[in-house]
Protein backbone atom coordinates (compact mmCIF):
# COMPACT_ATOMS: atom_id res chain seq x y z
CA UNK A 1 0.00 0.00 0.00
CA UNK A 2 2.75 2.38 0.95
CA UNK A 3 4.69 1.74 -2.25
CA UNK A 4 1.67 2.49 -4.47
CA UNK A 5 1.23 5.82 -2.74
CA UNK A 6 4.88 6.62 -3.35
CA UNK A 7 4.57 5.82 -7.04
CA UNK A 8 1.48 8.02 -7.35
CA UNK A 9 3.24 10.76 -5.52
CA UNK A 10 6.27 10.55 -7.76
CA UNK A 11 4.23 10.72 -10.98
CA UNK A 12 2.20 13.64 -9.68
CA UNK A 13 5.43 15.43 -8.93
CA UNK A 14 6.77 14.63 -12.40
CA UNK A 15 3.63 16.06 -14.03
CA UNK A 16 3.84 19.15 -11.87
CA UNK A 17 7.50 19.70 -12.69
CA UNK A 18 6.94 19.21 -16.42
CA UNK A 19 3.97 21.55 -16.30
CA UNK A 20 5.91 24.23 -14.53
CA UNK A 21 8.92 24.11 -16.81
CA UNK A 22 6.76 24.47 -19.92
CA UNK A 23 5.02 27.46 -18.38
CA UNK A 24 8.37 29.07 -17.56
CA UNK A 25 9.62 28.31 -21.07
CA UNK A 26 6.52 29.82 -22.67
CA UNK A 27 6.87 32.95 -20.56
CA UNK A 28 10.53 33.52 -21.33
CA UNK A 29 10.00 33.01 -25.08
CA UNK A 30 7.13 35.47 -25.01
CA UNK A 31 9.22 38.08 -23.23
CA UNK A 32 12.13 37.71 -25.65
CA UNK A 33 9.82 38.18 -28.64
CA UNK A 34 8.24 41.25 -27.07
CA UNK A 35 11.64 42.80 -26.37
CA UNK A 36 13.00 42.10 -29.86
CA UNK A 37 10.03 43.70 -31.62
CA UNK A 38 10.70 47.46 -31.18
CA UNK A 39 14.31 47.18 -32.39
CA UNK A 40 13.39 45.35 -35.59
CA UNK A 41 10.42 47.55 -36.53
CA UNK A 42 12.25 50.84 -36.17
CA UNK A 43 13.35 52.43 -39.45
CA UNK A 44 16.32 54.74 -39.90
CA UNK A 45 16.40 57.89 -42.04
CA UNK A 46 19.02 58.13 -44.74
CA UNK A 47 19.97 59.82 -47.98
CA UNK A 48 21.10 57.71 -50.93
CA UNK A 49 24.61 58.59 -52.08
CA UNK A 50 25.33 55.86 -54.61
CA UNK A 51 23.51 52.85 -56.06
CA UNK A 52 25.61 49.90 -57.27
CA UNK A 53 23.21 47.32 -58.71
CA UNK A 54 25.95 45.11 -60.13
CA UNK A 55 27.39 44.48 -56.68
CA UNK A 56 24.05 44.62 -54.79
CA UNK A 57 25.35 47.58 -52.81
CA UNK A 58 24.08 51.00 -51.80
CA UNK A 59 25.90 53.90 -50.17
CA UNK A 60 23.76 55.63 -47.56
CA UNK A 61 24.32 58.71 -45.43
CA UNK A 62 22.37 57.41 -42.48
CA UNK A 63 21.11 58.69 -39.13
CA UNK A 64 21.81 56.75 -35.95
CA UNK A 65 20.90 53.06 -36.37
CA UNK A 66 19.65 52.09 -32.93
CA UNK A 67 19.40 48.32 -33.43
CA UNK A 68 23.01 48.20 -34.69
CA UNK A 69 24.24 50.73 -32.12
CA UNK A 70 25.78 52.78 -34.94
CA UNK A 71 26.22 56.57 -35.00
CA UNK A 72 25.29 58.66 -38.08
CA UNK A 73 27.70 58.22 -41.01
CA UNK A 74 28.03 57.57 -44.73
CA UNK A 75 28.75 53.94 -45.55
CA UNK A 76 28.17 51.09 -47.99
CA UNK A 77 25.49 48.49 -47.31
CA UNK A 78 24.67 45.26 -49.06
CA UNK A 79 21.01 44.71 -49.97
CA UNK A 80 19.29 41.36 -49.49
CA UNK A 81 17.06 42.03 -52.52
CA UNK A 82 18.55 43.79 -55.55
CA UNK A 83 15.03 44.88 -56.60
CA UNK A 84 15.17 47.48 -53.81
CA UNK A 85 17.79 49.33 -55.84
CA UNK A 86 15.43 49.85 -58.79
CA UNK A 87 13.28 52.18 -56.71
CA UNK A 88 15.98 54.57 -55.56
CA UNK A 89 18.67 56.84 -56.96
CA UNK A 90 21.42 59.08 -55.59
CA UNK A 91 19.94 62.04 -53.71
CA UNK A 92 16.74 60.23 -52.64
CA UNK A 93 15.62 60.44 -49.03
CA UNK A 94 14.75 56.99 -47.73
CA UNK A 95 13.92 55.10 -44.58
CA UNK A 96 15.47 51.69 -44.11
CA UNK A 97 16.10 48.76 -41.82
CA UNK A 98 19.47 47.07 -41.64
CA UNK A 99 20.90 44.04 -39.92
CA UNK A 100 24.40 42.84 -39.19
CA UNK A 101 24.64 39.70 -41.31
CA UNK A 102 27.83 38.08 -40.01
CA UNK A 103 29.71 41.38 -40.06
CA UNK A 104 28.17 42.51 -43.38
CA UNK A 105 25.77 45.39 -42.88
CA UNK A 106 22.75 44.50 -44.97
CA UNK A 107 19.66 46.53 -45.85
CA UNK A 108 16.64 44.32 -45.27
CA UNK A 109 13.92 46.86 -46.04
CA UNK A 110 13.83 50.27 -47.71
CA UNK A 111 11.15 52.77 -48.62
CA UNK A 112 10.95 56.36 -49.83
CA UNK A 113 10.85 58.83 -46.93
CA UNK A 114 7.54 60.67 -46.58
* Residues contributing to the site for Cu ion (CB under 5 A): 70, 73, 75
Residues 5/56, Cβ–Cβ less than 8 Å: no
**Closest distance to Cu ion from the beta carbon of 96 (Å):** 11
Task: Report d(CA 63, CA 88) in Å as an integer.
Answer: 18
**Nearest one of 109, 87, 83, 89 to 98, comparing CA atoms:** 109
**Closest distance to Cu ion from the beta carbon of 73 (Å):** 4
Residue 67 host element (H or E)? none
Residues 105/80, Cβ–Cβ less than 8 Å: no
Name the closest residue to Cu ion (Cβ).
Answer: 75
Q: For Cu ion, which is the closer residue by CB, 9 or 73?
A: 73
Q: For Cu ion, which is the closer residue by CB, 70 or 78?
A: 70
Q: For Cu ion, which is the closer residue by CB, 4 or 102?
A: 102
**Closest distance to Cu ion from the beta carbon of 62 (Å):** 6
Amino acid sequence: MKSIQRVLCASALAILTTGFSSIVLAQSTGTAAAQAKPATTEMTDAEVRKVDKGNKKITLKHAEIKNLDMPPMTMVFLVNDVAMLDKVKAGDKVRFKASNDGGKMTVTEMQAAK
